[in-house]
Structure 1
Amino acid sequence: MLILPAVTVDRVLANLDLNLLVTLDALLRERNVTRSAEALGVSQPAVSAALARLRRHFGDPLLARTGNRYELTPLAAQLLALTGPALAGVRRVFDVTPDFDPTTIEREFTVITSDYAATEVGPLLARRLGELAPGARLRLQQTTPYTVDHAADTLRTADGLFLPHGFLTDFPYLDLYQDRWVCIVSSDNEVVGDALTLEHLATLPWVVLYNLRTAFAPAAQQLRLLGIEPRVEVVADGFLPMPFLVAGTRRVALLQERLAKRLAAPAGVRILPCPFDVVPLAEAFWWHPIYRHDPAHAWLRGVLESVGRELSAPVMSPIAETPLPDSPAAPR
């Protein structure tokens, strides 16, 4: 990796107009000067002039004509992955004020999350933001194995990540709530009676999430330590479809109890305890240390702490008449 001296970096920045970054982002996404001008609310000649400056700066055409349309050059394709995070970083710099007032903030908070965490935390968080900071926006962006495997890069370009413990270390976090892993089977599954056995888990077909080694839930990893390798029949990219992929089949799946309770009736599945001492799920909000002293981010963490307290209120379990464990929000 080429590391430029600080003086060189300062000279580069001094010779650039930050508006070019906004135009570059629009051009790379729209791949069309006219549409970019419309998106930016400026004239087409202004965008054409900016494109000419960008081409000179990068020594690359950026947009190459192919037939009746333009395609990104290899360099432009690399830049496309950088412009969004760069703009987000610039906006965060200029969002910082000495006296933070949530009622006047105009900022988009981006949280990377699974569909499960978005379902559990998202509604409460969106409601609190709407009440306390009407000018703020919340973006819930779907997580992928790549975003977790490259957490350092992910957390630099987003405000945080909803993720259970067991995947990340060495990042600050805020505990939100706890949940249980349960098993689900179709309501009409005649192979399984009132309880699942380890033999069932070893022989029945499975619905799993992602099916990548680094994406396995701790409960699934625990199952493998018991010598049981799930016979995968369906792979899903989210938790929400899993009950519907189990319904009407002999399949089994691991699911968070909170989500299973929401979806069991509409999907037509039964919730059963795992036939092994399954590790609990501890959901947390993870963020990058660069945001530790960001006033808006600190306020967001405070809002999430109150959301976590609400979610940690005891909930009666349908499979064991005991409350789900509390998880008092605790920043680290």
Structure 2
Amino acid sequence: MPIDEPGQNDLAARLTNVDLNLIPPLMALLQEQSVTLAAERIGLSQPAMSHTLARLRALLGDDLLVRSGSKYMLTPRARELLTSVPGVLRSVSERVLHVPAFDPARDARQFILSMTTSTAFLVAPLLLRITETVAPGASFEIRDSTEPGTDIFEKPELDVALVADTVATTYARSTLYRDRWVGVIDTANEQVDGDLTLEHLAALPHVAYQSATFRLNPYIALAAAGVTPTFELISSNFLLIPMLVADSNRIAIAQERLARRLADRFSLRILDLPLVVPPLGIDVLFNPRLAGDSATLWLVEAIRAELRATP
């Protein structure tokens, strides 16, 4: 029945006046057939229960309990409620209040994720593997995010956002994975013979990532070590950084996972950095409207499992 039909509107208007807190005392009154015993059963005073009975009578348009000598008796309407309300309560509990767990083998769900292109380059193949192996009904939409802001969940349909651990946010977050920083050069670059040194990092022109909101830990560490790199090319896209050193004498500092995915395609050599640098963390931000959502929680754990299984 369409929502604008009179009967549906009348029902909706009546339901807005219903206080669900009245249901437990209603059941106690119907089962005990005594204001005093019903009050004791749910921890109310007798005057409070008498007031509640008055409210129920007004709401339902029925006396519910009528005196017969020294006792109360149920009205026909009350006897009907005594048999029907428990089933209604069970139905509400099972169908409305109970949140079913997500079953990846059977349930269909589209997940919408926000992340940078470099993170998507690593995570998207894992998502496709998840649909192929454990969640055939799942599908994914990835939205590019260069500089995540405080309004990242302004659009309510977004499920999770993957951001660097350096991104400040008030949203609930959890570490998805950590990525070590490495040096990347072309395999034909003869200026680095053996291990990478601070002298190499000072002498070679750099292709680097630049962000308006944070500095990369490797360059903070280089500055602390007294090294001032020469930045020949700056990019706001992390995915491009390793590619741009191919067929050149340049060097880049990139995430190891990303570099290893690109090394064979672009003939890149991966080198350990000659100083200690904190790794880059990629965190999951959860949309607050989906707090406790079993499907979203399952997805994050499934991605973690794929990351552990990926060299």
| TM-score range relative to shorter protein | 0.5 to 0.7
The residue correspondences of 1:165-244 to structure 2 (distance < 5 A) are 165-209=165-209, 211-244=210-243
Match of 1:300 among 296, 301, 304: 296
Give the letter aligned to residue 153 of structure 1: D
Match of 2:306 among 299, 307, 310: 310
Counterpart in the other structure of 1:257: 256
Give the letter aligned to residue 264 of structure 1: A
* Secondary structure of 2:244's aligned partner: helix
In 1, the alpha carbon distance for the partners of 2:111 and 2:310 equals 29
Relative to structure 1, the CA distance from residue 216 to residue 109 in structure 2 (aligned partners, 3 Å threshold; closer, same or farther) is farther
What displacement does 1:141 show?
Answer: 1.7
Give the letter aligned to residue 166 of structure 1: T
Q: Does the Cα contact within 8 Å between 1:175 and 1:308 map onto a contact in 2?
A: no
Tell me which structure has the larger Cα radius of gyration.
2
Give the letter aligned to residue 302 of structure 1: W
What displacement does 1:214 show?
Answer: 1.5
Q: Cα deviation per residue 1:75-129 (whole Å; 9 max; x = unaligned)?
A: xxxxxxxxxxxxxxxxxxxxx9954655776654221112232122222223324
The residue correspondences of 1:1-332 to structure 2 (distance < 5 A) are 99=100, 108-129=110-131, 134-145=136-147, 148=148, 150=149, 152-157=150-155, 158-209=158-209, 211-293=210-292, 295=293, 298-313=294-309, 315=311
What displacement does 1:276 show?
Answer: 0.9
* Secondary structure of 2:152's aligned partner: helix
When normalised by structure 2's length, the TM-score is: 0.59
Q: Does the Cα contact within 8 Å between 1:111 and 1:140 map onto a contact in 2?
A: yes
In 1, the alpha carbon distance for the partners of 2:287 and 2:220 equals 27
- Mean Cα displacement is larger for which, 123-132 or 228-237? 123-132
- Mean Cα displacement is larger for which, 220-229 or 277-286? 220-229
In 1, the alpha carbon distance for the partners of 2:310 and 2:262 equals 20
Percent identity between the aligned chains? Answer: 32
Relative to structure 1, the CA distance from residue 202 to residue 97 in structure 2 (aligned partners, 3 Å threshold; closer, same or farther) is farther
Q: Does the Cα contact within 8 Å between 2:221 and 2:275 map onto a contact in 1?
A: no
What displacement does 1:207 show?
Answer: 0.9
User: How many residue pairs are counted as aligned between the two chains?
Assistant: 212
Gaps of at least 5 residues in structure 2 are 1-96
In 2, the alpha carbon distance for the partners of 1:106 and 1:97 equals 19
Give the letter aligned to residue 203 of structure 1: A
Q: Cα deviation per residue 1:255-279 (whole Å; 9 max; x = unaligned)?
A: 1112211211221121111111011
When normalised by structure 1's length, the TM-score is: 0.56
Gaps of at least 5 residues in structure 1 are 1-95, 316-332
Q: Cα deviation per residue 1:218-250 (whole Å; 9 max; x = unaligned)?
A: 333333343434322122343333222101212
In 2, the alpha carbon distance for the partners of 1:108 and 1:246 equals 37
Q: Please provide the CA RMSD for this pair.
A: 2.8
Give the letter aligned to residue 144 of structure 2: Q
Relative to structure 1, the CA distance from residue 110 to residue 261 in structure 2 (aligned partners, 3 Å threshold; closer, same or farther) is same
In 1, the alpha carbon distance for the partners of 2:199 and 2:130 equals 46
Counterpart in the other structure of 1:90: none
